[in-house]
Amino acid sequence: MAFEDLLEDPVIQKYLHELVGPKGMPVAAAPPDGEVTDEELAEELDLELNDVRRSLFILYENDLATYRRLRDEDSGWLTYLWTFEYDNIPENLEEEMYRLHDALEQRREYERNHEFYLCEICSIRFEFGEAMDFGFECPECGSPMESMDNDRLVHSMDERLDRLEDELNIDANVDA
Amino acid sequence: MVTVSISEAEAELTVDERAGLELVRESGGIHQSDFWKELDVSSRKGSRIVESLVEKELVDREDTVYDGHNTYYITPTARDLDFTLLMAGDMLSPFIGEEEVDPNSDAFSQWIMNLAYQE
């Protein structure tokens, strides 16, 4: 098996699981050294060929596997020889850290600029305008909504943004 | 292709290379002209150390202009990043595997709730 050091990382395991799902995990979690065919993987891992192919194509779409095609001269059949490209995992996760950072910044603005009301029975949150339209009564259960303080949310977003900026060497917005 | 694991590559570093790698990691990124001064080695030796670390894929290097001179900027590789920053409690960033990032999605609300109340 290859890439053991990467696969020891629980976040990377979770990442692969997120991409290929539980059925694809046997394929994603045990990349062989060098090239391999889908049939070989299915046999070795005792999986349905379709499940193996599905995971391989998901990995391919995420730059984590490549293939080359060989045509058998007698039968005319195509064979796909797959190579796992897990060296790209760290760059992919770096990109995800940037995406998460941008989303957190946008969401923090939204949280700061809106007032919220909560139905404590249904745990549903409403923006001020929505809450007013409903007369500050939950449309699901009819109980009165309470004004909700989101300081704790904003504070934890601030903290994570700081850590992401530090890790990625992003200059924080001066006006933020 | 033979895949040499990074920890193996790291184990084979000389004392100077190891100090150089630590410096790059601690600074998060440094110009080559500061690199050798900080390490207290000659500029030639500094550039040999960087050369070797780049070859072993332990650092990244790009051209830059600094103080009016052409130099390199040396940064840690993506492997050194703390990927746990993608997690909130036991939940991974919901944007993974998604093409569009929607900062107001329910999945992201859940992630933020985890961040605020589980960590």
Q: Are B76 and B82 in contact (CB under 8 A)?
A: no
Q: How confident is the model at residue A13 (pLDDT cuts 50, 70, 90)?
A: very high
The CA-atom distances, in angstroms, between A56 and each of A78, A103, A143, B32 are: 16, 29, 51, 41
How far, in Å, CA of A41 to CA of B54, rounded? 34
Closest partner CB to A103 (pick from B1, B83, B101): B101
Render pLDDT for A138-166 as a digit per residue (tens, 0 to 9).
999 999 999 999 999 999 999 999 999 98
Domain at A4-84: CATH architecture: Orthogonal Bundle (1.10)
Strand partners, B11: none
Domain ranges of chain A: 4-84, 91-168
Q: How far apart are alpha carbons B98 and B91 in whole angstroms?
A: 15
Q: Is the pLDDT of residue B50 over 70?
A: yes
Q: Which residues of B touch A163 (CB under 8 A)?
A: 82, 85
Long-range contacts of B71-75 (CB under 8 A, 24+ apart): B71/B31, B71/B32, B71/B33, B72/B31, B72/B32, B73/B29, B73/B30, B73/B31, B73/B32, B74/B24, B74/B29, B74/B30, B74/B31, B74/B32, B74/B35, B74/B50, B75/A169, B75/B24, B75/B28, B75/B29
Residue B89 has pLDDT above 50, yes or no: yes
Burial class (CB in 10 A: 0-12, 13-18, 19+), A31: buried
**Sorting pLDDT into bands at 50, 70 and 90, what band is B11?**
confident
pTM here is: 0.83
Interface of B with A (CB under 8 A): 1, 3, 5-7, 28-29, 75, 77-79, 81-88, 92-93, 95-97, 101-104, 108, 112-113, 115-117, 119
ipTM score of complex: 0.86
What is the reported pLDDT for B9? 77
Query: Has domain B6-80 been given CATH number 1.10.10.10?
Result: yes
In this predicted structure, what is the pLDDT of residue B19?
A: 95
**Residues in Cβ contact with A96 at an 8 Å cutoff, skipping those fewer than 6 apart:** A15, B86, B93, B95, B96
Q: Is the pLDDT of residue A176 over 60?
A: no
Is there a contact between B95 and A4 if contact means CB atoms under 8 Å apart?
no
pLDDT, mean over chain B: 89
Which of A14-18, A120-124, A170-174, B74-78 is least confident?
Answer: A170-174
Query: B96 vs A18: CB contact, 8 Å cut-off?
Result: yes
Look at residues A168, A159, A19, A160 and name the one whose alpha carbon lies nearest to residue A86. A19
Of all residues in chain A, the one with the smallest CA distance to B83 is A11
**In chain B, which residues fall in CATH 1.10.10.10?**
6-80
Residue A2 contacts B, CB cutoff 8 Å: yes
Which residues does chain A have within 8 Å of residue B86's beta carbon, measured at their own beta carbons? 11, 15, 93, 96-97, 100
**What pLDDT shows up at residue A44?**
94
* B93 pLDDT more than 90: yes
